[in-house]
Amino acid sequence: MSRFEAALVAFLITATFILALRPVAFSIGLIDRPGGRKSHVGIVPVLGGICMYFGLVSVLPLLETPMHGQGAFIVAAGLLVLIGALDDRFDLPPSLRLITQAIAAMIVCLAAGLVAENLGNILFFGDIHLGPLALPFTILVVISVINAFNMMDGLDGLAGGIGMAALAAATFAAVVFGDGAGASLGFVSLAVVVSFLLFNFPSIHNRRVRTFMGDAGSTLLGFMVAWMGLRLAHGPSPAISPVTALWIAALPICDLFISFGRRIAKGKNPLHPDSEHFHHILFRSGFSVRQVAIIMTTTAFVVAMTGVLAHQAGVPDGVLLLGLIVIGALQVWIVRRAWRIARWIRLRRGHEAEQRVRG
């Protein structure tokens, strides 16, 4: 089966499972109710992660070019989706989720052989080899990317949109730099995410079938992006530099570490959720949920593609690292001035609306 045929089949399987399993989700309590920090309308089934996984594993074995470590990918992703679904239903302890993520990361490293053994020439004096630190570093990277996407799952269409942007940039890189098997995984992954977004992206046309991805979906998204990044930078035939792989998920990764730093500085648990992420700032500024999702998805795609195209153009790794630092610093600056920026945007938008009325 070609990658395009596989992507179409995966798209249809994902959508079919989302529709078919809705009654099951309601009957077993796999649902999300509004209240507290959740402001959505009505009771919504939490099926996205499970159905995206079904769409993936249904077609991966049928691809004409088998992917290196394919079995490890299916097992690790399945473990994450299982624990994520149980967490969606029973609210598991964060420690159990972290242990599961570490196990999945070890499967990636040991069974698939995807280990970040070097960081590239990020300091301008040659490649930095990690030696015995390679395995724990890779595990930390996988866990970080998974949780970065988990934290992005705060508004309809947000995590899915940012995941789609990252996977699109990774797929582009795989195609441009000749990683056929990676490109096939990228197309299939994109297909299942787009299929889910039909039921999740804010729209009046999907209200009756609105579906959430839950922790099962956000961890699967993060895992797919982490796998693609590791494969492209540290696979059998590396296609991009390690720092370029970070650009693919730069926006959610920076948001993760900024959030951790902010919460630790306030004496809070770094895993405890809050409402001070960049997307919350946009929402408080008066943008609708749909507008926030579009802004964040577009920004994530532009950042990811900038990294890939810069690598293609031969920009040195050290310069790419400096670019990431600038992006992170800009996010810190915005978050630290969240209320002032939100107020300024609200006033600006109100002034523009008044001018249009007068005009």
Burial class (CB in 10 A: 0-12, 13-18, 19+), 146: buried
Q: What is the mean pLDDT of residues 254-259?
A: 86
Which token pair is 3? 């990658």
Calpha distance 251→282 (Å, rounded): 15
Q: How confident is the model at residue 359 (pLDDT cuts 50, 70, 90)?
A: low
The secondary structure element, H or E, covering residue 103 is helix 94-112
Rg (alpha carbons) of the chain, rounded to whole number: 20
pLDDT 10s digits, 315-329 = 999 999 999 999 999
Calpha distance 342→348 (Å, rounded): 10
Q: How confident is the model at residue 269 (pLDDT cuts 50, 70, 90)?
A: confident
Calpha distance 90→29 (Å, rounded): 9
Higher-confidence residue of 349 and 77: namely: 77
Q: Is residue 213 within 8 Å of residue 159, measured between CB atoms? A: yes
* DSSP tag of 66: P
Q: Which residues contact 207 (CB under 8 A, 6 or more apart)?
A: none
Reduce the DSSP state of residue 45 to 3 states and report it: strand
Question: For the chain, what is the domain count?
Answer: 1
Reduce the DSSP state of residue 344 to 3 states and report it: helix
Closest CA to 145 of 185, 180, 113, 116: 116
Reduce the DSSP state of residue 118 to 3 states and report it: strand
Calpha distance 225→300 (Å, rounded): 13
Calpha distance 134→115 (Å, rounded): 6
Least confident of 100-104, 158-162, 180-184, 203-207: 203-207
Domain that holds residue 326: 3-358
Q: What is the mean pLDDT of residues 194-200?
A: 96
Higher-confidence residue of 152 and 242: namely: 242
Q: What is the mean pLDDT of residues 248-258?
A: 91
Least confident of 29-33, 174-178, 183-187, 355-359: 355-359
Q: Which residues contact 168 (CB under 8 A, 6 or more apart)?
A: 186, 190, 301, 304
Per-residue confidence (pLDDT) for residue 335, from 0 to 100: 73
pLDDT 10s digits, 270-299 = 767 666 667 777 777 778 888 889 999 999
pLDDT 10s digits, 148-192 = 999 888 788 899 999 999 999 999 999 999 899 999 999 999 999
Neighbours of 357 (CB within 10 A): 7
Higher-confidence residue of 41 and 84: namely: 84
Per-residue confidence (pLDDT) for residue 40, from 0 to 100: 54
Per-residue confidence (pLDDT) for residue 160, from 0 to 100: 95
pTM across the whole model: 0.92
Has residue 344 got a pLDDT over 80?
A: no
Which token pair is 196? 């889910």
The rounded mean pLDDT for the chain is: 89
Per-residue confidence (pLDDT) for residue 65, from 0 to 100: 78
124-134 residues labelled b (16+ CB within 10 A) or e (exposed): eeeeeeeeeeb
The secondary structure element, H or E, covering residue 12 is helix 3-20
Q: Considering the chain, what percentage of its residues have pLDDT values greater than 70?
A: 92
